[in-house]
Structure 1
Amino acid sequence: MAEKKKFNLEYEIKSSPKILYSFLSEPNALSQWFADEVTYRDQTYTFVWDGEEHKAKLLSAKDNKLVKFKWIDDEPHCYFEMEVMQDELTNDVALAITDFAPEDAIEERKKIWDNQIEYLISVLGA
C-alpha cells in the first residue's frame, strides 16, 4: 500500500465560528453535507456513503475551533481534521482541512473536499 501524504486545504466561509463548528461536530449536521448518514456512539462516528459504513474515532474536539478524526481502519499516523479559523482583524472565517491520501490520489481527494465544502457552504446559506 502506498504511503499516505499529508495535505492541507483552506476555504473561506461566511459563517460564525459557532454555527460552522456545529456542522463539523454534530452528527445530524454532518449528515446534511459530509456523508449520507452519520451516527455517534462511544467516541466513534459512523459515516455512511452509498450504503457503505466507515468508522472514525474522535481524537480531539475544541468547541467552536476544531474536530480531529481518525479512520479506525487507517494507518496509525493518518487522521483528518477540520479547523475553524477566524482572522482577528477582519473577523473573516475560514475552514482549514488536514487530510492524508496516497500521493497519486491527493488531487482526487482535494476535488472531493472541494465538492463537500461547496455543498456545506450551500447548506449554510453562506
Structure 2
Amino acid sequence: MSIPDDLRYTKDHEWIKLLEDGSAALVGITDFAQSELGDIVFVELKPAGTKLKAHEVFGTVEAVKTVADLFAPVAGEIMEVNGSLDAAEVVNQDPYGEGWLVKIRIDDPASLAELLDAAAYRELIGE
C-alpha cells in the first residue's frame, strides 16, 4: 500500500499535495481508498469555480459495488478538474499521480497542518 510521505491526508481517505506556489494544491483519493472501493467506473466532480468549505462534498466516486462521497480536505476554490478522469480507472491505476481529482486554491495554507501526516494516516488504516 502506497502512502507518500510528502502528502497530507484526511480521515475520509483523501490526500492533498501543496503545489510550489504555496496557495494551490492537488486533491485525490488514497491508494487505500481506491483499493477498498474496487474498480472505479465513474467520477463526478463539482466544476471549476466552485467554492468549498473544509469537509464539504465536492463530488462522488462510483465503483462497481458502491458510490462514495468525496470531501474537501480544506476550504478553497476548485481551479481545475482533472480531464483525464473520463477514463475513471486512472484513479485505481495511479491515485497519487494521473488520478488526481481537483486542483484547488486554498483559502488558508496553514489549515494543512490540521490534516494527518503519512505516519498518522498509516496508523489510521492499520498499516
Q: Does the TM-score normalized on the shorter chain lie above 0.5?
A: no
Higher helix share: 1
Q: Pick the structure with more strand per residue.
A: 1
Q: TM-score, normalised to structure 1's length? A: 0.31
**Structure ID, larger Rg:** 1
